[in-house]
């Protein structure tokens, strides 16, 4: 249905967010694409684009086409529109960064606080770094679109709180968003670290895969699930916790969670390090294990290959339930490459139905150490650039 001019005027900023979402999802690159895939008239599209151009969120740039034809006008998000402040809290160190909406990291710092220090010293340190990062890139607090935190614990995403027991002593139900509320008008988002690494890997390297499972094999083991292109969290945010699935309990090793025979107790970096110590090596975590693998120690390689088969056992169950098109294996142990992946493939292809495995790929992760920061930035960007949020954002002057 075509709209008359007064109707278009009455729309105001409403609907601009929907047009932006078609561009951000990659469905539309130009005005012509928008006219083709949406049921909006050219006049309505022009009005909504005008609102987006005026807000500074979107711009139109000349881009030479691969075919060598005349340059096309393509619609692009203005990555400089706002800033995300992000922190990746690890067990023994913290990374903080300011990113644009790409996201690209604009400035970054590394701190060596242990997560056991508790929430107040850690959040105080992070807040101070955020101020310095903003000063370094010359952007005011008003341009901050959101704060994103990656935490090594189960997280209630909606509340932005750690829930349940974890390595994060003292964080359980601590009001993380409330900590930043006085300083920034922007919302605060918190999420589990493995889930954010899943998000970063998916967006950066596999955006076309709508069904993806990421397995983090490091000192601990966890997983993240993308279904229909979206992060799957589960009813209480506990989805993907594969590290403590019990494989067997007779003569099974003790897990650090207190149960017997968990996946972690066989295949985590700490468990392999335990087995290496029993063979006379000095090893405490996944990094130590990898140092021995990289020195071609057969004992370490053999244990990593065995860990791959244990991961394969649980991955086979995951494939049977979720039928992903790709399994990405990340974490420190994934640096062992085929030593780890071979066992995963072996068990998955042996145990799953051909229908589930015929197009399945099992690959090593590509993202590097900045994945937690980029995942946290995606968390902020996804939330703030949802259609209804965009309509609100551009209905008032300035971001934030
Ligand atoms: Zn366990």
- Does some domain include residue 36? yes
Q: How confident is the model at residue 23 (pLDDT cuts 50, 70, 90)?
A: very high
- Does some domain include residue 141? yes
Distance from the alpha carbon of residue 153 to the mean position of ligand 1, in angstroms: 14
Task: Select from 77, 95, 130 the last residue of a domain.
Answer: 77
Distance from the alpha carbon of residue 300 to the mean position of ligand 1, in angstroms: 22
- Does some domain include residue 357? yes
Look up residue 395 and give its two tokens: 């209905």
Distance from the alpha carbon of residue 221 to the mean position of ligand 1, in angstroms: 10
- What integer pLDDT is reported at residue 11 of this predicted model? 47
Backbone φ and ψ of 109, nearest 5°: -135, 155
Which residues lie across from 161 on neighbouring strands?
156
- What integer pLDDT is reported at residue 73 of this predicted model? 87
Distance from the alpha carbon of residue 243 to the mean position of ligand 1, in angstroms: 6
197-231 pLDDT, tens digit per residue, is 999 999 999 999 999 999 999 988 999 999 999 99
Cβ atoms of 240 and 247 closer than 8 Å: no
Residue 182 buriedness (CB in 10 A; 0-12 / 13-18 / 19+)? exposed
Q: Which residue, chain included where needed, has tokens 């704060």?
A: 147
Q: Are residues 221 and 331 in the same domain?
A: yes
Task: Select from 21, 42, 77 the last residue of a domain.
Answer: 77
Look up residue 353 and give its two tokens: 């139905």
Conformational region of residue 229, where left means phi above 0, alpha means psi within -120 to 50, and beta covers everything else: left
Long-range contacts of 3-9 (CB under 8 A, 24+ apart): 3/41, 3/43, 3/44, 5/43, 8/43, 8/44, 8/47
Q: How confident is the model at residue 13 (pLDDT cuts 50, 70, 90)?
A: low
Distance from the alpha carbon of residue 138 to the mean position of ligand 1, in angstroms: 46
Q: Are residues 225 and 94 in the same domain?
A: no
Distance from the alpha carbon of residue 219 to the mean position of ligand 1, in angstroms: 13
Q: How confident is the model at residue 67 (pLDDT cuts 50, 70, 90)?
A: low
Look up residue 273 and give its two tokens: 């390090």
Residue 53 buriedness (CB in 10 A; 0-12 / 13-18 / 19+)? middle
Q: Are residues 210 and 355 in the same domain?
A: yes
Q: Are residues 358 and 215 in the same domain?
A: yes
Distance from the alpha carbon of residue 224 to the mean position of ligand 1, in angstroms: 17
Distance from the alpha carbon of residue 150 to the mean position of ligand 1, in angstroms: 22
Give the count of domains, the chain.
3
Can you point out the beta strands (E) in the chain? Answer: 58-63, 72-77, 83-89, 94-99, 105-111, 144-151, 155-156, 161-162, 188-192, 212-217, 221-227, 230-231, 326-330, 361-364
- Does some domain include residue 91? yes
- Does some domain include residue 192? no
Q: Are residues 61 and 86 in the same domain?
A: no
- What integer pLDDT is reported at residue 14 of this predicted model? 65
Distance from the alpha carbon of residue 214 to the mean position of ligand 1, in angstroms: 19
For residue 138, what are the domain limits? 81-186+371-395
Q: What is the Cα–Cα distance from 332 to 285, expressed in whole angstroms? A: 10
Q: Are residues 59 and 98 in the same domain?
A: no
Q: How confident is the model at residue 6 (pLDDT cuts 50, 70, 90)?
A: very low
Q: What is the Cα–Cα distance from 276 to 343, expressed in whole angstroms? A: 19
Look up residue 329 and give its two tokens: 């294996």
Q: Are residues 282 and 159 in the same domain?
A: no
Q: Are residues 93 and 143 in the same domain?
A: yes
- Does some domain include residue 249? yes
Look up residue 15 and give its two tokens: 């609907």
Task: Select from 60, 77, 94 the last residue of a domain.
Answer: 77
Nearest to 348 by CA among 369, 371, 322: 322
Cβ atoms of 85 and 180 closer than 8 Å: no
- Does some domain include residue 284? yes
Q: What is the Cα–Cα distance from 264 to 273, expressed in whole angstroms? A: 12
Q: Are residues 57 and 85 in the same domain?
A: no
DSSP 248-307: --TTPPBPTTS-BSBHHHHHSHHHHHHHHHHTT----SHHHHHHHHHTT-HHHHHHHHHH
Q: How confident is the model at residue 3 (pLDDT cuts 50, 70, 90)?
A: very low
- What integer pLDDT is reported at residue 153 of this predicted model? 87
Q: Are residues 176 and 231 in the same domain?
A: no
CATH number at residue 35: 1.10.10.10
- Does some domain include residue 191? no
Q: Are residues 88 and 73 in the same domain?
A: no
339-396 pLDDT, tens digit per residue, is 999 999 999 999 999 999 999 999 999 998 899 999 999 999 999 999 999 998 887 6
Distance from the alpha carbon of residue 261 to the mean position of ligand 1, in angstroms: 7
Looking at per-residue pLDDT, the higher value among 133 and 159 belongs to 133
CATH number at residue 297: 3.30.420.40
321-346 pLDDT, tens digit per residue, is 999 999 999 999 999 999 999 999 99
Q: What is the Cα–Cα distance from 181 to 89, expressed in whole angstroms? A: 19
Nearest to 155 by CA among 201, 203, 193: 193
Q: Are residues 375 and 358 in the same domain?
A: no
Distance from the alpha carbon of residue 296 to the mean position of ligand 1, in angstroms: 29
Q: Which residue, chain included where needed, has tokens 């300083």?
A: 183
Q: What is the Cα–Cα distance from 84 to 103, expressed in whole angstroms? A: 8
């Amino acid at each position: 249905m075509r709209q008359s001019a007064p109707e278009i005027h009455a729309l105001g900023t409403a609907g601009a967010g929907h047009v932006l979402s078609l561009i951000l999802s990659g469905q539309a690159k130009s005005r012509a694409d928008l006219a083709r895939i949406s049921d909006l008239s050219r006049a309505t599209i022009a009005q909504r684009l005008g609102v987006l151009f005026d807000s500074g969120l979107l711009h139109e740039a000349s881009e030479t086409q691969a075919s060598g034809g005349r340059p096309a006008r393509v619609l692009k998000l203005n990555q400089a529109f706002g800033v995300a402040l992000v922190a990746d809290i690890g067990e023994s160190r913290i990374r903080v960064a300011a990113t644009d909406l790409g996201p690209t990291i604009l400035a970054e710092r590394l701190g060596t606080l242990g997560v056991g220090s508790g929430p107040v010293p850690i959040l105080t340190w992070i807040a101070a770094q955020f101020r310095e990062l903003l000063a370094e890139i010359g952007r005011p607090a008003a341009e901050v679109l959101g704060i994103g935190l990656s935490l090594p614990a189960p997280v209630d995403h909606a509340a932005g709180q750690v829930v349940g027991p974890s390595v994060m002593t003292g964080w359980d139900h601590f009001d993380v968003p409330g900590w930043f509320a006085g300083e920034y008008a922007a919302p605060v988002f918190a999420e589990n670290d493995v889930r954010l690494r899943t998000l970063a890997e998916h967006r950066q390297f596999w955006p076309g895969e709508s069904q993806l499972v990421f397995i983090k094999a490091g000192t601990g083991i966890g997983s993240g699930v993308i279904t229909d292109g979206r992060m799957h969290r589960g009813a209480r945010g506990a989805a993907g916790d594969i590290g403590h699935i019990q494989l067997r309990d007779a003569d099974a090793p003790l897990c650090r969670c207190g149960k017997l025979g968990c996946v972690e107790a066989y295949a985590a970096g700490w468990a392999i390090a335990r087995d290496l110590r029993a063979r006379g090596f000095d090893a405490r975590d996944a990094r130590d294990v990898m140092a021995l693998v990289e020195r071609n120690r057969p004992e370490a390689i053999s244990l990593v290959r065995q860990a791959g088969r244990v991961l394969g056992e649980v991955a086979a169950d995951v494939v049977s339930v979720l039928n992903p098109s790709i399994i990405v294996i990340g974490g420190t142990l994934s640096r062992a490459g085929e030593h780890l992946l071979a066992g995963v493939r072996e068990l998955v292809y042996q145990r799953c139905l051909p229908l589930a495995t015929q197009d399945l790929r099992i690959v090593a992760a590509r993202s590097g150490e900045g994945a937690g920061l980029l995942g946290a930035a995606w968390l902020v960007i996804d939330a703030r650039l949802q259609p209804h949020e965009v309509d609100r954002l551009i209905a008032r002057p300035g971001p934030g």
